[in-house]
Homo-oligomer: A and B are copies of this chain.
Amino acid sequence: MIIVMEENAPEEQIVSVVDRLVGLGFDIHRSTGTRYTILGAVGARTVDTRLLELLEGVSKVVRITSPYKLAARAFKPEGTRIHLRDIVIGGENLVLMAGPGVVESRDQIETIASALARIGVKVLRGGAFRSSGDPYGFQGLGEEGLKLLREAADRHGCCTVSEITEASQIPLFGRYIDLIQVSAGNMQNFMLLKELARTDKPIILTRGPSATIEETLLAADFMMVGGNHRIIICESGIKTLETYTRNTMDLSAIPVIQKLSHLPVIADPSHATGRRDKVPSMARAVAAAGADGMIIDVHHDPEHALCDGAQSLTLEQFEKLAGQLRQIAPAVERKL
């Protein structure tokens, strides 16, 4: 930690800050310039830097160490690859995860799964528990939904991914789901993250709508400290002053996270834009930006979907998109 004193701060202020730091257990290296005095503080303890910023004569306090450790690129410079049956996330493949917002029935998920498998999708998504603020909307089929998703996936050789909304659902997810998604709204639900850290399932951690990249990596780190190192970060749009789209997709987060962290990075253009007609262009941009994969809402009949039909591609639209992604992948040295 570095403490920069204000220009020409009087000696008694400097001494007082040094005393405080020593009292907190830090070793101090003092560097006195003609105008600025700078204090380097070395020690094991974490302190609330705001307390130091409030001291008389302190201009700013700078952390040297990254606030996240296990999620930092330096921890695993070669990058993390997550193996899921026969697929690898974080390797040379662009991994497509697709399926309906929620599983509605055996027929619905079978219709979608068979079409997606034919197009080449290896990870089938489908929600079973909803956590929206609409008390009147469809709430999902619960365990039955997870089971139908699993069966459809098995029939077509796919893995499963679904969104978890409460820690109490973990045993059910353990039974049916290969890849557990934490939604944007739960990114900082540390009660849930703590329990997920103890499972042996890989996790998709979705960036919250007002979370910075650093906060997102801190949440990943929190789960890694708890024991689960198989985390995938998912960019899903942030709230901005632009209101035409639901959120603004921060595509630069993809190369930024790839530099700062060793964890795989995917994106969710359906949720980010909230509108079907904007999904294909954003999905192509995700691939071109170099992501490890993406999640796309697809429904065979979006107009009658029980949830999020507006952001779901039809099977035809998805097939066309997959063809475009296949053209783009080689430009970023990916296979599809």
A and B contact pairs by CB, cutoff 8 A, 23 listed: A2-B38, A6-B74, A7-B66, A7-B72, A31-B31, A33-B42, A38-B64, A48-B308, A54-B277, A60-B62, A62-B62, A131-B191, A133-B193, A208-B210, A238-B240, A238-B242, A245-B256, A248-B248, A252-B272, A255-B278, A255-B281, A255-B282, A284-B290
Q: Which residues of B contact A252 (CB under 8 A)?
A: 244-245, 248-249, 272-273, 278, 281-282
* CB 8 Å contact bits of A207-243 with B (1 = contact, 0 = none): 0111011100011001001100000000000111111
Whether a CB of chain B sits under 8 angstroms from the CB of A327 is: yes
Q: Are B251 and A242 in contact (CB under 8 A)?
A: no
- Which residue of chain B has its CB nearest to the CB of A276? B54
Please, how many angstroms separate the alpha-carbon atoms of A328 and B220 in the complex? 32
Q: A249-B252, A303-B51 are in contact. Are A31 and B40 (CB under 8 A)?
A: yes
* CB 8 Å contact bits of A173-198 with B (1 = contact, 0 = none): 00000000000010011110100000
Q: A64-B4, A241-B238, A328-B288 are in contact. Are A310 and B48 (CB under 8 A)?
A: yes
Whether a CB of chain B sits under 8 angstroms from the CB of A143 is: no
* CB 8 Å contact bits of A122-157 with B (1 = contact, 0 = none): 000000000111111100000000000000000000
A248 CB → nearest B CB, Å: 5
Q: A238-B242, A248-B252, A310-B50 are in contact. Are A188 and B190 (CB under 8 A)?
A: no
Q: Which residues of A, 1-32, contact B by the 8 Å Cβ criterion?
A: 2, 4, 6-8, 29, 31
Q: Which residues of B contact A2 (CB under 8 A)?
A: 2, 38, 62
A100 CB → nearest B CB, Å: 15
Q: Are B135 and A226 in contact (CB under 8 A)?
A: yes
Count copies of this chain in the complex: 4
Q: A165-B191, A210-B210 are in contact. Are A254 and B240 (CB under 8 A)?
A: no
- Which residue of chain B has its CB nearest to the CB of A274? B50
Which one of B132, B243, B256, B288 lies within 8 Å of A284 (CB-CB)? B288
Q: Which residues of B contact A212 (CB under 8 A)?
A: 241-244
- Which residue of chain B has its CB nearest to the CB of A255? B281
Q: Which residues of A, 54-69, contact B by the 8 Å Cβ criterion?
A: 54, 59-60, 62, 64-66
Please, how many angstroms separate the alpha-carbon atoms of A46 and B327 in the complex? 41
Q: Are A53 and B275 in contact (CB under 8 A)?
A: yes
Whether a CB of chain B sits under 8 angstroms from the CB of A93 is: no
Q: Are A251 and B253 in contact (CB under 8 A)?
A: no
Q: Which residues of B contact A137 (CB under 8 A)?
A: 46
Q: Which residues of B contact A36 (CB under 8 A)?
A: 64-65
Please, how many angstroms separate the alpha-carbon atoms of A191 and B8 in the complex? 34
Please, how many angstroms separate the alpha-carbon atoms of A33 and B1 in the complex? 12
Please, how many angstroms separate the alpha-carbon atoms of A8 and B218 in the complex? 21
Please, how many angstroms separate the alpha-carbon atoms of A320 and B147 in the complex? 48
Whether a CB of chain B sits under 8 angstroms from the CB of A80 is: no
